[in-house]
A and B are shown apart, each in its own frame.
Chain A
Amino acid sequence: MSGPTLAVVGAAETTQMGVITDTSELQLHADAAFNALADAGLTIKDIDGFATAGERPTDVAHYLGLEPRWVDGTSVGGCSFMIHVRHAAAAIAAGLCTTVLITHAESGKSRVGKAPQAFTSALSGQFERPFGVTGPPTMFGLPVLRHMQDTGLTHEQMANVAVVQREWAGMNPRATFRDPITVEDVLSSRMIAYPFHLLECCLVTDGGGALIVTSADRAKDFPTTPVYVLGHGESVETPMVSQMKNFSSSQAFRIAGADAFASAEITHADVDHLMVYDAFAHLPLYGLEDLGFCGRGEAGDFVWERNTAPGGSLPMNTNGGGLSYMHSGMYGMYAMQESVRQMRGTAPAQIDGAEVSVSLGVGGMFGASGCVVFSNVAP
């Protein structure tokens, strides 16, 4: 790569978040898209590339009145939008299009006009569903007891992930849950699927977000503070959590993370701000270790020692995360929205002087990953 080629020039979430009973999923896409267009000072006619997941790109493009000449419908779960950024970078660099809109929206709680969703593949239908898996809470946590056995990670350390993220959420007026909690609160909350208590599981809410990306050399022509995309990575591993190769590490995290850091030409010391997709409390721990911020089995201590908390050396999930901010089903878009806000200097819990932000996403149950490195420093 000959340096960064892409910049985010529009970014916005839906006007409302939380429980939205009077808006369909498709209209939530449109709300996020028009908010991002207004942010960038563009109209729908300026968009010539489009990507989305969950809903088919055909449905959303037609609804918006788009006439795209480049389309990406990669849909591998909640990290799909990170992967769309990476694909858009390649497409724009190749001259296939100039200005790409990426939308996410989900009527995750209210399920108004929700696209049908199949979380099972042909093989998981045969070799997982018969044993009582019913969705993410009965699948995503499956590797954790093995991880605890092999690394010494404790129940208190996992619960503490939710506690620290609630501290961040307390600084965010748009967060769903803002009241402080303790490790004891987490461990005494209702058991969902041992070892996961209610407060170690993400919210289920409605909302959406959209990004507009274009070539970095055009970024200064827009009204927004340019946020450059320095690097990115992607991978997939397995549709069946029972078949992930290493129960203490995500192969997709490792591949996507390493490629993102290498293409961005950054080291860990360069990272000022981190987002790790947190559908459940163990995911930030896997992310910290698989990205190489911690050695294997060290992330529980790392969070306990307040490195990722307000005032720490590596602020993480500063919007409150899927555990406290919002989670409509495919959370990756919200992680990137917070990275963009931090790089613009507009986040509710703004990290002073932050110049590099990393967003790591997961898709399925450790099934896929996308990772994007953002910066406010012109390449």
Chain B
Amino acid sequence: MTPTVDRTKRPLPRPTPETQHFWDGTRNGQLLIQRCDACGDAYFPPRPFCPACSSQDVSVEQVSGRGTLYSYLINHTRHPGIASPYAIAVVELDVGVRMMSNIVNCEQTPEALVIDMPVEVVFEAFSDEITLAFFQPSTADVETAVQS
């Protein structure tokens, strides 16, 4: 009795000139975040100036895609393009910014979705232009401080 879910019914983003670099990044398997060269803050979503200090001196950097599950809810109502129930999550990346996403390769239950658990980015293509950044439970055995 599971209602039909059509993957193509997932609403896809329509990039703007100011966000195109982010979607070019996900298409290439990279998570690109902007950072202000004046005050040092990383920020999201994209725009060509820093929301903290208004500086237009900003850079785009590739980040690790590691973060933690900051908050979520689990939608039990029907969505035409996503099988319910599914978690709508906010991930806090290790660079400090938060973004909405889905948690994949994981049971969509409160028991499996533990607040603050480590997650890592995975990419899934939905069209030639659009690849979405999802997150899955971290596959690293332990969090190791990299000092190379």
Q: Are B77 and A193 interface neighbours, CB within 8 A? A: yes
Residues of B within 8 A of A191 (CB): 74, 76, 85
Chain A CB within 10 A, most for which of B19, B72, B85:
B72
Q: Are A130 and B10 in contact (CB under 8 A)?
A: yes
Residues on A facing B (Cβ under 8 Å): 122-123, 125-134, 137-139, 141-146, 149, 190-196, 240, 242-243, 247
Does B100 lie within 8 Å of A144, measured CB to CB? no
Cα distance, A191 to B76, chains bound together (Å): 6
Q: Beta-carbon contacts of B64-84 to A below 8 Å, as 1s and 0s? A: 000000111111110101100
Q: Is the CB of A145 within 8 A of B72?
A: yes
User: A131 and B74: CB pair below 8 A?
Assistant: no
- Cβ of B74: which chain A residues have Cβ within 8 Å of it? 191, 193-194
Q: How far is the CB of A122 from chain B (nearest CB, A)?
A: 7
Q: Is the CB of B71 within 8 A of A142?
A: yes
Measured between beta carbons, the chain B residues less than 8 angstroms from A243 are: 44-45, 98
Contact A131 B100 (CB under 8 A): yes
Nearest residue in A to B92 (C-beta to C-beta)? A146
| Extra 14 A-B pairs, beta carbons < 8 Å, given A126-B14, A130-B10, A144-B73 | A125-B11, A127-B99, A131-B101, A131-B132, A132-B75, A133-B100, A138-B73, A141-B73, A142-B90, A143-B71, A145-B115, A146-B71, A146-B90, A146-B115
The reply to whether A196 and B45 form a contact with Cβ atoms under 8 Å apart is no
Closest CB-CB distance, B42 to chain A, in whole Å? Answer: 13
Please determine whether B85 and A194 come into contact, CB atoms closer than 8 angstroms: yes
Assembly CA distance A131 to B86 (angstroms): 9
Residue among B10, B14, B88 with max Cβ neighbours from chain A (10 Å): B88
**Interface: B110 (CB within 8 A):** yes
Q: Answer whether residue B15 sits at the interface, using C-beta atoms and an 8 A cutoff.
A: yes
A125 contacts across to B, CB distance below 8 A: 11, 13-14
Say whether, besides A134-B79, A146-B115, A243-B45, A128 and B73 are in contact (CB < 8 Å): no
Q: Which residues of B contact A129 (CB under 8 A)?
A: 11, 13
Verify A192–B45 contact, CB threshold 8 A.
no
CA distance A268 to B47 in the complex (A): 41
Q: Mark B9-48, 1 if CB is under 8 A from A, else 0.
A: 0111111100100000000000000000000000011000
Q: Which of B11, B73, B81 contacts A145 (CB 8 A)?
A: B73
The listed residue (A134, A146, A195) touching B77 by CB distance below 8 A is A134
B116 at the interface (CB under 8 A from A): yes
CB pair B75 A138 closer than 8 Å? yes
* B14 touching A194, Cβ below 8 Å: no
Find out whether the CB atom of A194 lies under 8 angstroms from the CB atom of B110: yes
Assembled-state Cα–Cα distance A190/B70 (Å): 25
A126 with B19: CB separation less than 8 A:
yes
Interface pair B73/A126, CB less than 8 Å apart = no
> Do B10 and A193 have beta carbons less than 8 Å apart?
no
Complex A-B: 27 CB contacts under 8 Å: A125-B14, A127-B13, A130-B10, A130-B12, A130-B13, A132-B75, A132-B88, A137-B77, A138-B77, A139-B88, A142-B71, A142-B88, A145-B72, A146-B70, A146-B71, A146-B115, A149-B115, A191-B74, A193-B73, A193-B74, A193-B75, A194-B85, A196-B73, A240-B45, A242-B98, A243-B44, A247-B70
Once bound together, how far apart are the Cα atoms of A123 and B99, in whole Å? 12
- The distance from the CB of B35 to the nearest CB of chain A, in whole angstroms, is 17
**Cβ–Cβ contact A122 & B16, under 8 A:** yes
Most buried by B among A130, A133, A134: A130
Q: Chain B residues near A242: list those with CB within 8 A.
A: 90, 98-100
